[in-house]
């Protein structure tokens, strides 16, 4: 089994701290959940009847994404099923990116080719499938749309696929390729888990041409998403006002986190609206130092030691993180960590040409 963030039970056992006492910054899931703030009633029918495909969920998703969408049980369902829809292929994945992708293609018998960002363009014409998380997890790396579409064109000309996992793109929708997902060989994965704070609902979508969506639906079978989750997803996708507010506070919080880490001598090497990422030889020691204080981060050992920090939600959580960084990590004191840097756009200076 691959490790993921959010393993609070394991952390509680390892460090002897009760589960409810942890500040979990390990997941990249928004600390503000649509469900917690809206708390809609769920109809009894959602519990008593089998889900029906014509309940409006696909239409709500199409309106939100601007493209035809197949509802699936979280993007993980598609990640596991897509390798079964192709013959044995050469699949390029970015080194250090979300490991589930490479693992699932490899287990299905495909040849997985590890790429660094600078080598993607040279490798595209040797691949059958190029798989990118965009923004990347955990580096936050993004690519210009014209570059992505060029890679897709070159792959599709030979019957290849470009798969773009956009789990973290909702806060920066201009980066999405959803509006091009009708093209043959372009597959976009979306999820309600991160931006909407609904990871437990297990709702995702596959945006692709009709034939591929139909083949995937046949592979996955009926009733892939529970009725209550379908109702929640429909309401969240239609709540435009909440979505605008969510984008604004995520960008503010991410910039605030970046500033706090920089002032603690831990300047981020990447990130997006939902997390910040720091590389360094002391990543494991820093992970441990925070964990003994009940603050869980996501530790990566490969390809380079690094930590991913999710977003605190309350002022008490921000203060707790600030005090931990000052007391156990930072080499100099800093002030003003608790102030939101309002009125500034988030940086996008890591876009490749």
Q: Is 134 exposed, middle or buried (0-12, 13-18, 19+ CB in 10 A)?
A: buried
Q: Is the pLDDT of residue 23 over 90?
A: yes
Q: Are strands 161-165 and 186-191 parallel, antiparallel or unpaired?
A: parallel
Q: Is the pLDDT of residue 339 over 70?
A: no
Structurally, at CATH architecture level, domain 34-238 sits in: 3-Layer(aba) Sandwich (3.40)
Q: Torsion angle of alpha carbons 202, 207, 212, 215, nearest 10°?
A: 20
Higher per-residue confidence, 353 vs 145: 145
Task: Report how far residue 168's alpha carbon sits from residue 134's, in angstroms, rounded to the nearest whole number.
Answer: 7
Query: If one looks up domain 8-30+242-352 in CATH, what number appears?
Result: 3.90.1150.10
Residues pairing with 308 in the sheet = 277, 298
Q: Is the pLDDT of residue 336 over 60?
A: no
**How many Cβ atoms are within 10 Å of 26's Cβ, its own excluded?**
25
The DSSP code sequence of 162-211 is: EEEE-TT-TTSGGG--GGGTTSTTEEEEEESTTTSS-GGG--EEEE--HH
pLDDT for the residue numbered 184: 97
The predicted model scores a pTM of 0.90
Mean pLDDT (the chain) is 92
pLDDT for the residue numbered 125: 98
Cβ neighbors of 54 (< 8 A, separation 6 or more) are: none
pLDDT for the residue numbered 303: 86
Q: Is the pLDDT of residue 347 over 70?
A: no
Question: CATH 3.90.1150.10 in the chain, residues?
Answer: 8-30+242-352
**How many Cβ atoms are within 10 Å of 156's Cβ, its own excluded?**
15
Residue range 67-97, pLDDT digits in tens = 999 999 999 999 999 999 999 999 999 999 9
pLDDT for the residue numbered 1: 54
Q: Is the pLDDT of residue 281 over 70?
A: yes
Residues pairing with 307 in the sheet = 278, 299
Residue range 28-69, pLDDT digits in tens = 999 999 999 999 999 999 999 999 989 999 999 999 999 999
Strands, E assignment, 36-170: 69-72, 90-94, 111-115, 129-133, 142-143, 161-165
Question: CATH 3.40.640.10 in the chain, residues?
Answer: 34-238
Task: Report how far residue 148's alpha carbon sits from residue 79's, in angstroms, rounded to the nearest whole number.
Answer: 20
| Span between the terminal Cα atoms of the chain, in Å | 36
Evaluate whether 25 touches 295 at the Cβ level (below 8 Å). yes
Q: Is the pLDDT of residue 328 over 60?
A: no
When pLDDT is cut at 50, 70 and 90, the band that residue 5 belongs to is confident
Task: Report how far residue 212's alpha carbon sits from residue 181's, in angstroms, rounded to the nearest whole number.
Answer: 11
Residue range 239-259, pLDDT digits in tens = 999 999 999 999 999 999 999
Task: Report how far residue 295's alpha carbon sits from residue 325's, in angstroms, rounded to the nearest whole number.
Answer: 10
Strands, E assignment, 39-128: 69-72, 90-94, 111-115
For residue 211, the Cα-to-chain-centroid distance in whole angstroms is: 26
Tokens describing residue 19? 């589960």
Evaluate whether 6 touches 27 at the Cβ level (below 8 Å). yes
């Amino acid at each position: 089994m691959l490790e993921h963030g959010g393993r609070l039970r394991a952390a509680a056992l390892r460090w002897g701290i009760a589960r409810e006492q942890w500040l979990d910054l390990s997941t990249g899931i928004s600390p503000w959940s649509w469900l917690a703030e809206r708390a809609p009633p769920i109809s009894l029918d959602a519990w008593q009847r089998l889900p029906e495909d014509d309940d409006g969920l696909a239409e709500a998703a199409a309106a939100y994404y601007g493209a035809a969408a197949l509802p699936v049980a979280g993007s993980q369902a598609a990640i596991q099923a897509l390798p079964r829809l192709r013959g044995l292929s050469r699949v390029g994945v970015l080194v250090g990116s979300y490991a589930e992708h490479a693992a699932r293609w490899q287990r299905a018998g495909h040849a997985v080719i590890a790429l660094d960002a600078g080598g993607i363009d040279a490798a595209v014409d040797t691949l059958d499938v190029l798989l990118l998380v965009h923004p990347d997890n955990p580096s936050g790396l993004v690519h210009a749309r014209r570059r992505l579409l060029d890679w897709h064109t070159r792959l599709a000309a030979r019957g290849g696929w470009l798969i773009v996992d956009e789990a973290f793109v909702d806060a920066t929708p201009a980066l999405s390729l959803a509006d091009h997902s009708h093209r043959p060989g372009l597959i976009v994965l979306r999820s309600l888990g991160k931006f909407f704070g609904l990871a437990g609902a297990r709702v995702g979508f596959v945006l692709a041409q009709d034939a591929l969506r139909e083949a995937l639906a046949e592979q996955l079978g009926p009733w892939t998403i529970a009725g209550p989750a379908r109702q929640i997803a429909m309401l969240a996708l239609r709540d435009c006002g909440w979505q605008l507010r969510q984008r604004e506070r995520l960008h503010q919080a991410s910039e605030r986190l970046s500033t706090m880490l920089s002032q603690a001598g831990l300047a981020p090497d990447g990130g997006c609206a939902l997390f910040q990422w720091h590389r360094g030889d002391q990543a494991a020691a820093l992970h441990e130092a925070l964990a003994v204080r009940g603050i869980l981060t996501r530790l990566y050992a490969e390809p380079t030691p690094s930590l991913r920090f999710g977003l605190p939600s309350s002022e008490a959580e921000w203060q707790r993180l600030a005090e931990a960084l000052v007391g156990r990590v930072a080499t100099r004191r800093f002030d003003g960590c608790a102030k939101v840097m309002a009125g500034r756009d988030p940086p996008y200076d890591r876009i490749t040409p």
